[in-house]
Structure 1
Amino acid sequence: MHVSLTTWLITGAVILGLFVFDFFAHVRTPHEPTLRESGFWSTVYIGIAVLFGGFVWWQWGSQYGGEYFAGYVTEKALSVDNLFVFVVIMTKFAVPRVYQQKVLLLGIVMALVMRGGFIAVGAAAINAYSWVFYIFGLFLLFTAVKLLNESDEPAAEERERQGRVERIVKKWFRATDVYDGDKLTTRIDGKRMITPLMVVLIVIGFTDVLFALDSIPAIYGLTQEPYLVFTANAFALMGLRQLYFLLGGLLNKLIYLSYGLSLILAFIGVKLVLHALHENTLSFINGGNHVPVPEISTALSLGVIGGTLVVTTVLSLIVSKRRANKALADSTSND
């Protein structure tokens, strides 16, 4: 897949333009977005991502188009799981809802910049050393098991992690516990201090680094094209702010999402290990020769990822509804 420098620059300019538009059109004036506003713009950004996928399909063929869509769906699913962490952060720091848009958008931009760095490093490593796929694959398998073990009490672990980051930030910076509108810094008694909103932004930035450690190896398991890796990440992150307000309390009902994501990461981890064996150059494995193992196609990957997300989402909503009805029935009977 050949992507010219001009295409890279135009793509980057369009993505940057969309974020700038989002800031001046929706975030610059603090307000709590309505359900209608969030739903409309979430649909718009998903539509833009799908149209871009159609462009990739038309310009470079079905193989790369399929890889883009598989990567986009995976990154979007991981982003939805990340929203739960954002809810925990906003709740812990009691961020007023009218100011949450700004910190979310800035956090998303930070995430994209950091992921850009990870993508570049990953691409360079893959080009230089084919055995990197072993590391990516084993790391995803480890992450899948870890995510599965954390699925029972994710909020408690996140609050503990955020507490550690908060203590480090307040150790190095003068901080106030009082919000000053949507300002990141304020002046108190002549001293410049960071507001809780800045602390939240730093915590989100640190969390984004951890998210990238999972998502970048995962998408490299679906495509080795840096352009597709970057754009799938960018379009998955775009509209995440609106999705945060749109889903709202629905996040608590997606009780099996972590299990589904664990299965997806494990599947991609196996796919990466198989690919590494197929491209093997390590002397202590099969004498440095390629191992004749089957490779998982993009179509199968897309099917497994999409099917897993559909099943876990539907099952989560059904079980959540049954539990809510049972709780209501128990409450009524007790009365």
Structure 2
Amino acid sequence: MDVSPLVWTLTVLGILGLLAFDYFFHVRRAHVPTLREAAIWSSLYVGIALLFGVGTLVLGGTAMGSEYFAGYITEKALSVDNLFVFLIIMTSFRVPREDQQKVLLVGIVFSLIARTGFILLGSALINTFSWVFYLFGLALLITAGNMFKPQTEESHSAQNVVVRISRRLFRTTDHYDGDKLFTVQDGRRVMTPMLLVMVAIGGTDLMFALDSIPAIFGLTQNVYIVFTATAFSLLGLRQLYFLLDGLLDRLIYLSYGLAVILGFIGVKLVLHALHENNVPFINNGEHVEVGEIGTGLSLAVILVVLVITVFASLFSTRGRTQTAMANARRDATAYLDSEYTRDPDERERIFKRLVESRDHIVALGPKAKQIVKNEPELLELCRLAAASHERAMADGQHPVASFHDGGPSPLDSSKYPRPPSSLDGSGSQT
């Protein structure tokens, strides 16, 4: 089905309108979104994407509709996996909670622009050189192999090349000035970390596009479907980030599931390349009689793999422990950071989650030493956060007096003494 220029124009205007609405009605005013707010708007954007898919199915036919849903689900799953890296970047740069929405929206807009460029380039290459399918398939197979390697927070770095160059070429400050990209320090105009974190996320988005665009071209070569599936998978990603906050680390098998999906699409691309072959040194430039994988089967495989990996992650003891470990470390660090948020309710929320995470780790007993890395340092961070919370409660700075109806703090350091190999008060290793 050919898509008319009018449909293209209306689609692009609709997507731009949703981005503008997102900015002016949600992101422009810095605030910490509640779980309810994130759930409502995330559901709305997913609903819009599904309705668009139904419309494509009705107006464009079964094949076109199936290609859209296969592409959308794959791109959405890849986007969720990318949120884990965004979380690491914003934690590394200590982005204030109120301003994280703007950073994410800028990253989404940059990603949409970059991926549109990659889509147009990929389409031009495919229409000109059929052997490009070999390259796309090989790239996905290599990516799938790399995703089977264990990945932790330490395996990602927010300090990418662009950020390091920016720090060398320009004067930067270590502190934020609201959501400003530049500020004045000692009479000189300098960059704030806000601009650097946007550069880091933008640079990371470019790397993500190198994986996601070949993946969706492996499911469909219809440029309209590739563009809309990619765009709708990115819309609502900001709300999804806050909705899944605290659960991202629990999806410990998601990367393995995505590796299987990307490997499957890589094989699909290679089979298609063999079928369309005109490379002289392969079968003398003639096409190879091989079976091809249909869109319906692709959609079924994608759904089954995602369901299995998500449920396996959610019911995994190791997944729950890894979530508790990551949440405890991030929440304690954020609670001790005076610049993390100005919202007392947000501080109370992360402290309550810190209590739950710490209790889970302590309840493991000796098992924690096998699963949790740097357990003494982690418990020391909890102790320091507890002391800070008790001082704030004594000064009347928190809206919630206590979690035990007037009793002692759940992280009272007298209950959990300082571990022998922990951090001292100055933050240095003992």
User: What interval of TM-score do these two structures reach, taking the shorter chain for normalisation?
Assistant: over 0.9
Q: Deviations over 1:192-227 (max 9, x none)?
A: 222101100000000000000000000000000111
Whether the 8 Å contact between 2:249 and 2:319 is mirrored in structure 1 is: no
Distance in 1, matches of 2:252 and 2:318, equals: 11
Question: Which structure 2 residue ranges, 5 or more long, are not aligned?
Answer: 322-358, 369-415, 417-430
Unaligned runs of 5+ in 1: none
Matched with 1:24 is 24
Aligned position for 1:98: 98
Alpha-carbon distance change, 252 to 320 in structure 1, aligned in 2, over 3 angstroms:
farther
The aligned counterpart of 1:130 is 130
1:263 paired residue number: 260
SS where residue 273 of structure 2 aligns?
helix
Task: Give me the whole-angstrom Cα distance separating, in 2, the residues matched to 1:297 and 1:135.
Answer: 20
Structure 1 equivalent of residue 142 of structure 2: 142
RMSD in angstroms over aligned alpha carbons?
1.8
Matched, 1:297 2:331: no
Which structure dedicates a bigger proportion of its chain to helix?
Answer: 1
1:331 to 332, 351, 365: 365
1:156 aligned onto 2:190: no
Offset of residue 249 of structure 1: 0.7
Q: 1:155 to 1:52 in 2, by over 3 A?
A: same
Is 1:194 aligned with 2:228?
A: no
Instruction: Report what 2:111 is aligned to.
Output: 111
CA contact (8 A) 2:314 2:320 kept: no
Q: Shift of residue 190 of structure 1? A: 3.6
Alignment partners' CA distance in 1, 2:160 and 2:282: 44
**Secondary structure class of the residue paired with 2:288:** coil
State which of 304, 309, 319 in structure 2 corresponds to 1:307: 304
2:165 counterpart (148, 168, 172): 168
Q: Confirm whether residue 282 of structure 1 aligns to residue 279 of structure 2.
A: yes
Gap change, CA 1:118 and 1:186, over 3 Å in 2? same
2: CA distance, partners of 1:333 / 1:220: 45
The residue type equivalent to 2:365 in the other structure is: S
AA matched with 1:153: Q
Give the number of aligned pairs: 332
Q: What displacement does 1:292 show?
A: 0.8
Provide the secondary structure at the position in 1 that maps to 2:298.
Answer: helix
Partners of 1:317 and 1:138 in 2: how far apart?
32
Normalised by the size of structure 2, how large is the TM-score? Answer: 0.75
Q: Cα distance 1:177–1:7, how it changes in 2: closer, same or farther (>3 A)?
A: same
Instruction: Read off the aligned partner of 1:258 and give its amino acid letter.
Output: S
- DSSP-derived class of the 1:162 partner: coil
**What is aligned with 2:343?**
none
Shift of 1:332: 9.6
**C-alpha contact 2:71 2:216 (8 A) present in aligned 1:** yes
Preserved contact between residue 250 and residue 320 of structure 2 (Cα < 8 Å): no
Does the 8 Å CA contact 2:173/2:191 hold for their aligned counterparts? yes
Asked whether 1:226 is paired with 2:246, we answer no
1-structure distance, mates of 2:260, 2:7: 35
- Cα deviation 1:45-78 (Å, max 9, x = unaligned): 0000001111111111010100000000000000
Equivalent AA in structure 1 for residue 229 of structure 2? A
Q: Distance in 2 between matches of 1:309 and 1:197?
A: 34
More RCO (CA 8 Å, sep 6+): 1
CA contact (8 A) 1:253 1:320 kept: no
Q: Secondary structure at the match of 2:78?
A: helix
Work out whether 1:70 is the aligned partner of 2:74. Answer: no
The residue matched to 1:153 in structure 2 has which SS?
A: coil
Q: Partner residue of 1:319?
A: 316
Deviates more, 1:162-171 or 1:227-236: 162-171
In the alignment, what sits opposite 1:184?
181
Residue by residue, what CA displacement relative to the aligned partner does 1:15-74 show, whole Å, maximum 9, x if unpaired?
A: 000000000110000000000000000000000000111111111101010000000000
Distance in structure 2 (CA, Å) of the matches to 1:333 and 1:123: 52
The verdict on how the C-alpha distance between 1:47 and 1:270 changes in structure 2, with shifts beyond 3 A counting, is same
